[in-house]
Amino acid sequence: MNHSTASAPAWQEAVFKVLKEGGVDQIVYVPDAGHSHVIRSAIADPDIEDVVLTTEEEGVAVVCGAWLGGKRSVLLMQSSGVGNCVNMFSLLQAADFPFFTLVTMRGEYAEFNPWQGPMGKATQAALELMGIHVLRASHPDEVEEIVSAGYDAAFEAGEKVAVLLGQSLIGRKKWERK
């Protein structure tokens, strides 16, 4: 895997900066192109443990376990993964864990894959129904402040927070023909 970070957009660099400066100990994720800079940066950073998941709901349990062990852990996922987590979000409420997730959105701006549409439209409501406060960044110049505010709300105030990163930040995705 190429660990170069030179070509990442400034907003993606800002996301990792917030996490690093906030003292994140662990980043858990299902691989996703929208989170690729943060994932590569975590892999390259000896102070951050990167944990690859097979499914997003595992990440909810992993971040809760990290908190019990005195660590700050962040879950990275796509909006489609939120649907996989709904039942596991009950753990957050039952045990009153702080929670922070960054969600790259699909089913919005210039979406080519109809499979992504339904969960993309339901992501915010699903999170809110499960007691998770939702913040949204849609423009590159607001990402750092919104991610920072969400991170602090989770780890300083003990809130459950999701930051939705709008699909327009990532740009158009297209099927690649070979």
Residue 112: pLDDT over 80: no
Q: Which of 127, 118, 101, 104 lies closest to 12, judged by CA?
A: 104
Amino acid 122: pLDDT: 76
What is the Cα–Cα distance from 74 to 24, expressed in whole angstroms?
A: 7
Determine how many CB atoms are found less than 10 A away from the CB of residue 160.
21
Mean pLDDT of the chain: 89
Amino acid 109: pLDDT: 61
Max distance between CA atoms of the chain, in angstroms, equals 49
Amino acid 4: pLDDT: 45
Residue 78: how many CA atoms within 13 Å on its side-chain side? 19
DSSP letter at 25 equals -
User: Residue 10: what are its φ and ψ, rounded to 5°?
Assistant: -60, -35
Amino acid 167: pLDDT: 83
Residue 53: how many CA atoms within 13 Å on its side-chain side? 24
133-137 sheet: strands from edge to edge: 49-52, 26-29, 73-78, 99-104, 160-165, 133-137
Angstrom CA distances, 114 to 50, 77, 80, 138, 173, stand at: 31, 19, 12, 21, 12
pLDDT grade for 117, boundaries at 50, 70 and 90:
low
Cα 13–Cα 124–Cα 18 angle in degrees, nearest 5: 20
Quick one: 10-170 is in which CATH superfamily?
A: Thiamin diphosphate (ThDP)-binding fold, Pyr/PP domains (3.40.50.970)
Domain spans of the chain, in order of start: 10-170
pLDDT tens per residue, range 69-99:
999 999 999 999 999 999 999 999 999 999 9
Amino acid 7: pLDDT: 78
Residue 5: pLDDT over 60: no
Is the pTM higher than 0.85? The answer reads: yes
pLDDT grade for 105, boundaries at 50, 70 and 90:
confident
3-state percent helix, strand, coil for the chain, nearest multiple of 5: 50, 15, 35
